[in-house]
Structures are given as C-alpha cells and as structure tokens.
Structure 1
Amino acid sequence: MYDCYGDVDRVPELLARAEREDGAEAWDELGYRLVLECDLVFPASFAALPRLVRLASRSARARGLAGTIVRCAAGSHGCDDLLAGCAEAIAEFRELLDRHLRSRPDDYLATFRNSIAAEGQYHWSAVLGDFTDDFYQVACPHCAAEVTIAIGGYGRYSAIRDWNLGDADRRDLRPASPDGLSGIGRWMHQTAVRDGEVVLADGITHLFGQAECPRCASVFNIADEYASSHRPLM
C-alpha cells in the first residue's frame, strides 16, 4: 500500500497522529502523500479512505482529503480492486456529506462537488461551478460544430467562440423544467433547492436543458452531449 513516494509505513503513522491530535503538519503531509497536484492517487489513498471517512464527521481536513480521493477515483490509478473495496466507506461518506450540505456550510460548493463524485458522476464533479462564470464546450451532435455553452451572470446562451469576435451568434438556452429532470440532474437540482442554493439550482436547470447550435440551428440536450464526451470509462 505505497504512497506517492513509494513508502508503505508513513501514511498509517500520519493517520494515527491525525486521529490523536488533528495536527496541521500531519494533515499537510497526508495531503501530498495521498494525492499529487496532477490528481494522481495511489494504493495508500484508497487504503486510507475508510479511516478518513471515520474522521470526516469531526475534521474538515479529513472530509476534504476524502473528497479529493473520491473525485480522483475516475483516473488511471490501477487500483480498481481497492476502490471496489471502498464501496461501503463511500456510501457512508455520501450520507455524511449530505448532512453537511443541510447545514449550509461556507464550503457548500466543494461539498456539493464531492457529493456528486461520491455518486459516481466524476465528470460533473470535475467541472461544476457556481454558475457565476461557467463555460462548457460541447460538439453539436448534428453538424459537429464546437459550441460554447455559457451559464453565468453575463448570460445563458450557446455560441460559436471566435478568437477575434468572442462568443458570436448567441442563442438563448432553454432550461429544463424541474419536474422534467431525472437521474443525477434531478438529484443535483433537488439538493440545491432543499438547501436554498437558488443560483445553483437555476444553473442546473440550464445545464440540463437544451441549446440551439448557432451553425446548423439544431437543438440538443446540453448535459447528454457533454456527458457522452467527458464521462470517464470505468
């Protein structure tokens, strides 16, 4: 169960220190031993996950590190068997994160993204913002044009991005009806509404709504096209 340095005994020692004293130095070292900056994880990362989840109810550092490991689970880490063994811990983590979301914490968006990853929706966890300045690139399923989807305070539209002209030929998005949402879109929207996150909830209806291609004028579902291109192969 080696970490990013190839050590097999350092992470258990650091976890024991963190459990005893919640020391900042121990958490800092755990962070860079379990997850590299390029979002690589290691066998020790998944071996540590159940203990991190147990600590997460009383430690924001444990909750954050566990969330980062879960978000990285879609990568090419070669630890699929270890990840499968974490299913119970991840289910427990989902419940813990949901309780934390209900408290409307300052780190709401980060917790929301970790919750999405714990649901196995890694592509949304990686890109979802707060819808103040969000852009998504999708290919039109009909003409293959690269379409920019903007959802933010400046507008909610589809466009063809031009180097000189910016977002050209804008077309207003067509948000989904909350009652028409299903799957992860429905879960995301209902959770945001429950917790009073109005801007987030409205952004989700646009993200899971429809866009018109500025090039061929065909209409397509934004989330379906984005997910088909970005959903990781597990």
Structure 2
Amino acid sequence: MNAQVVNWTQMHDCRGDVDRVPALLSRVEFGDDVEAWEELGYRLVLEQDLVFPASFAALPCLVRLASRSARARGLAGTILRRAAGHHGCDDLLADCADAIGGFRKLLDRHLQSRPADYLTTFLNLLAAKEEYHWSAVLGDFADDFYHLDCPHCAVDVTIAIGDHGRYSAIRDWHLGDVDRRGLRPALLDELSGSGRWMHETAVRDGHAALAHGIAHLFGKAECPRCASVFNIADEYTSANRPVLL
C-alpha cells in the first residue's frame, strides 16, 4: 500500500473522519510536529485499543518515517499490536505486508543498538511477526503472572516468573499462591520456533533477565493438584492465541 495512492475518502479514522489523517501525515513528514503526532495517536488508535481503516492506511508512511522518528516507530508498533482485534480490515492489513516486512528489519536493527525502549521494541517486533498473544502479555519478568488451565485436570494454575519466584501454584485470594511447584526452564536445545527466536534475540542483545524469563516461560510446570507436567507456552498459546477475523 502506498500512502500517495490511498483513497482516503474510504479510510475513516477512530473519530469517523476521512480528511485529518492524511493532512497530519503530511505535517509530520516534514518535521517533528508534536501537536500533529499527538493528534495522530488518538485518531489511529482508540482508547479501547481499537484500530480502524486509517490506522492501516497510515502504516506504510509511518514505517518510512520510523528510521528517523521514534514517534513513528512507536505508533506503527502500537497499531500492529492491535492488529489481532476485531477491526474488519484484513484486506488493508494484507496490503501492508511489504511495509511490515521492512518494519521487522528496522525493529531488529533497533534492538541490536540496546535502546532504552528495548522491551517495547521487542513487543512491537513480536506483533510484526504476528505473535500477537506474546506481544500482548510478555513483561520484563520482574513480576509476571500467566493464568491457564491444567490440560489434565482443568484446575486454574497460576504461573509466576519474576523476582519473587518462578513457580506454578493455586491462587487463593486470601492465602495467596499456595502449593507452589518450581518451574523447569527449557534448555537451549529444547527451544524451537518463536521461543527459540525470542531467547536467542534476548541473549544476542545482552538481556539476560529477559532470556532467563523466556526459558522458564517455554519450559515446563507441574500442576499443584494432579502433579501432571505440561509445557507452559504450549498451553498458554492454545488458550490465548487470537484469531484474525
């Protein structure tokens, strides 16, 4: 999709307008217009995290600007992290495939510079790789919790990966996490697919805490009730992977 040939009369934004976004994009292309960037933010992503046709129509322009503008990079990433929602714009998203491919490369280069916004960039890159569920929930593993059902007895299991411990437990709202069982982190040769890419990227960029957390997330947990052992990431993905409609 090329911003110069977009039929903007068909691309309403979050406020229902069709003329403001192209005008704002023209303003930010020629300078760091703070007011224009702020207005673009609330016109391209609604407060409830919804996106609209203008959001995807603007993506190619935002990606072009992303190499020299942190605002463009952040806004493009924010849009992509909402792409799994019910926006009804799958054709527009598909038209952005080339731009998204270029954005993935740009984000990966930015990660290698070990920026201050490393985790945000990491999450945006996950979204650009269509790993929407991890992009939505992955934290810095200082105090992360994942909730899933045991695949064998269906009890609600809390998975904790953070500074206070790495364990599976049954959450009691009065007693806290009870009957804790230590997690079994995945070894490097046990990782594959997205988990391996995530771990290798964090290691490459010197983010040991992130890599360590990912190894636990893609490792195994023991159910506190039935003592069965299961792969955390597989069960979480199965229960939470969004479906594009």
Instruction: Please give the range of the TM-score, normalised by the shorter of the 2 chains.
Output: over 0.9
Indicate the residue corresponding to 1:9 in structure 2. Answer: 19
Indicate the residue corresponding to 2:128 in structure 1. Answer: 118
TM-score (norm 2): 0.95
Deviations for 1:73-97, whole angstroms, at most 9, x for unmatched residues? 0000000000000111111000000
Residue 236 (structure 2) pairs with residue 201 (structure 1): no
Deviations for 1:159-207, whole angstroms, at most 9, x for unmatched residues? 0000111000000000000121001000000000000000000000000
Indicate the residue corresponding to 2:166 in structure 1. Answer: 156
Q: CA deviation at 1:110?
A: 0.1
Residue 143 (structure 2) pairs with residue 133 (structure 1): yes
Give, as a single letter, the amino acid of the residue that structure 1 aligns with 2:85: G
Q: How many residues align?
A: 234
Indicate the residue corresponding to 1:45 in structure 2. Answer: 55
Deviations for 1:41-75, whole angstroms, at most 9, x for unmatched residues? 00000000000000000000000000000000000
Indicate the residue corresponding to 2:117 in structure 1. Answer: 107
Alignment partners' CA distance in 1, 2:48 and 2:149? 26
Give, as a single letter, the amino acid of the residue that structure 2 aligns with 1:172: G
Alignment partners' CA distance in 2, 1:230 and 1:47? 28
Instruction: Classify the secondary structure of the residue corresponding to 1:58.
Output: coil
Alignment partners' CA distance in 2, 1:134 and 1:123? 15
Instruction: Classify the secondary structure of the residue corresponding to 2:179.
Output: strand
Q: 1:59 aligns with which of 48, 61, 69?
A: 69
Q: 1:145 aligns with which of 143, 155, 169?
A: 155
Residue 220 (structure 2) pairs with residue 183 (structure 1): no
Q: CA deviation at 1:155?
A: 0.4
CA RMSD of aligned residues (A): 0.5
Indicate the residue corresponding to 1:33 in structure 2. Answer: 43
Alignment partners' CA distance in 2, 1:231 and 1:109? 20
Q: CA deviation at 1:153?
A: 0.7
Indicate the residue corresponding to 2:6 in structure 1. Answer: none
Q: CA deviation at 1:158?
A: 0.1
Instruction: Classify the secondary structure of the residue corresponding to 2:22.
Output: helix
- Indicate the percent of aligned positions where both proteins have the same amino acid: 76
TM-score (norm 1): 0.99
Alignment partners' CA distance in 2, 1:228 and 1:159? 20
Instruction: Classify the secondary structure of the residue corresponding to 1:229.
Output: helix
Gaps of 5+ in 1: none
Give, as a single letter, the amino acid of the residue that structure 2 aligns with 1:11: V
Indicate the residue corresponding to 2:222 in structure 1. Answer: 212
Matches within 5 A, 1:90-101: 90-101=100-111
Give, as a single letter, the amino acid of the residue that structure 2 aligns with 1:207: L
Alignment partners' CA distance in 2, 1:134 and 1:220? 19
Alignment partners' CA distance in 1, 2:14 and 2:82? 14
Give, as a single letter, the amino acid of the residue that structure 1 aligns with 2:213: G
Indicate the residue corresponding to 2:97 in structure 1. Answer: 87
